[in-house]
Amino acid sequence: MPNRRLSNRTIMEVFRLHYSCELSYKKISNAVGCSRAAVSDYVARAHKAGLTWPSLLELDEGTIGSLLFPPRERCLNRPLPDWNYIHNELKKQGVTLLLLWSEYRQTYPSGYGLSQFCRLYSVFRRNLNLVMRQEHKAGEKAFSDFAGTPVSITDPQTGNTSHSYLFVCALGASNFTFAQLFSDQSARSWCEGHAAAFQYFGGCPKIVVPDNPKGVVAKVCRYEPDINPSFAHMAAHYRVAVIPARVRRPKDKAKVETAVGIATRWILAPLRNRRFISLEEANTAVRTLLEKMNDHPFKKLDGSRSSLYKSLDKPALSPLPVSKYEYTQFKKATVKSDYHVDFDKHFYSVPHQLRGEIVEIQATLRTIEIFSRGVLVAQHRRSFAKNNASSVVGHRPKSHQLYDEQLPEKIMESAIKLGPATVALFRTIVQRQKYPELGYRSCLGILRLAKKFGETRLEAACQRALANEAVSYTNVKSILACKLDQEGLDTQNTRASYSQEGPLASHCSHSH
């Protein structure tokens, strides 16, 4: 229908040019000064009214106008749609207001038109609270953050008090919420919090929208944030995308901001005066209150978080992966000259060809995997023994394996030249190491000190180190740097150790 109705005289001119002169719509529009769509509309209305060109000449302009534009039949008592149903259906994938209106008109042919339908729905949305006014598709997004109020945990044995923090994750469409306490807000807590949330939901959303802590975002950027590798690994395991909220943009995560506020009132506030002796006990109390919160009816919508979750989000969530998630730490390290890399103060061997290169370490509670340019080059069982080594003989070249067999003898020969205190110190260092390679490294470092401080001073420093039970490379170097080796020392207590048998070479039998 044209935006502006032409006069009846102009409409008659349109019909004359069309029927009598047989001009095109374009020429008629130029002649009378209207659009081609208007010309087409008037011709179509005449055809619908059963008017022909000869009969049009017999009618007056007023009659033609009433035939072309008959008065609309006003529909009284038109049924209102179920706006709660409309609002929830819009959260499903592919559902639009146009589709819902067409379904409404199929049920009520005399119901509201599309424009009135959309206007009335807008009025309904304005009457909802802020959380429910946001548009979120079912199963699409989950929003996460930590609540600010901590919960106290008191150790019954020591009486010391620690704090735990409530992790909150809410689904966008239904507001169905997961909450659990963690001892900190580290990357591990963020990863395991999301893993527990997905298990609680019984499926995975397509997108997670977390905040911007270091545990999630390694480098903040408005357009391309650098996601923490551990968090990215978790997201890849569950096949979800990570879109962090923009910094200082609370509207990006309004859903979880509201969920955190509600969880604070429903969970943290009731627990404020309770004292827990373990994190497990506190989480049991949290789970009880969480169920009550999700089952509580909405004030302005039908149902609850649980009922909306069952009807909206749950059917739309992606299935959980078959394999169980295991938190993984990532670290880049440079391969040392002895073909080992350091992770958590333990040394792990890699193929000798990688000496001096940067590799990536992926560590779980059970395994250590080392990658070079994306290729797995070494795998070890994880060890939590500090200052020890996990070595694979095959990682060393054959020439170095032979050298390792001769190394203890060479060290001992050099120590004998320096004096009995050096021999005794080296023997003590190797005996205290589970893996003799670590002891050999310390001994070689001590021998190199002779080049800077002289052989006489080094022997005196080894004597003082034995007397003070300071048997390490660092202590010997400190003694020399502070010139403590030049001070007087009663060596009566250390001479007995000089004559102890047990050559350094005897430790070659240890497994490498």
DSSP string, 383-398: ---TTEEE--GGGS-H
Q: What confidence tens digit (pLDDT) does each residue in 289-302 have?
A: 999 999 988 877 77
Angle in degrees, 0-180, between the axes of helices 25-32 and 8-15, rounded to the nearest 10: 150
| pLDDT tier for residue 397 given thresholds of 50, 70 and 90 | low
The answer to whether the predicted template modeling score (pTM) of the entire model surpasses 0.85 is: no
User: What pLDDT is attached to residue 178?
Assistant: 94
Residue type for position 359: V
What was the pLDDT predicted at 221? 56
Do residues 129 and 255 touch, judged by C-beta distance below 8 A? Answer: no
CA-CA-CA-CA torsion for 234, 235, 239, 243, nearest 10 degrees? 180
What 8-state DSSP symbol labels residue 479?
H
Q: Residue 204: which pLDDT band, with cuts at 50, 70 and 90? A: very high
Q: Is the pLDDT reported for residue 408 higher than 80?
A: no
- Confidence check: pLDDT of 246 > 80: no
**Rounded CA separation 141/208 (Å):** 6
Torsion of CA 451, 452, 454, 458, to 10 degrees: -100
Tens of pLDDT along 71-129? 665 545 678 888 888 888 887 766 788 888 988 888 888 888 888 888 888 888 877 65
CA 130 to chain centroid: 26
pLDDT, average across residues 456-460? 91
Under the banding of pLDDT at 50, 70 and 90, the label for residue 494 is very low
Sheet holding 367-372, edge to edge: 329-334, 358-363, 367-372, 375-381
Q: Which residues of 288-310 are buried (b: 16+ CB within 10 A; e: fewer)?
A: ebbeebbeeebeebebbbbbbbe
Per-residue confidence (pLDDT) for residue 505, from 0 to 100: 43
Bigger pLDDT: 310 or 487? 310
pLDDT on residue 390: 86
Indicate the Cα dihedral angle 41, 42, 47, 50, nearest 10°: 140
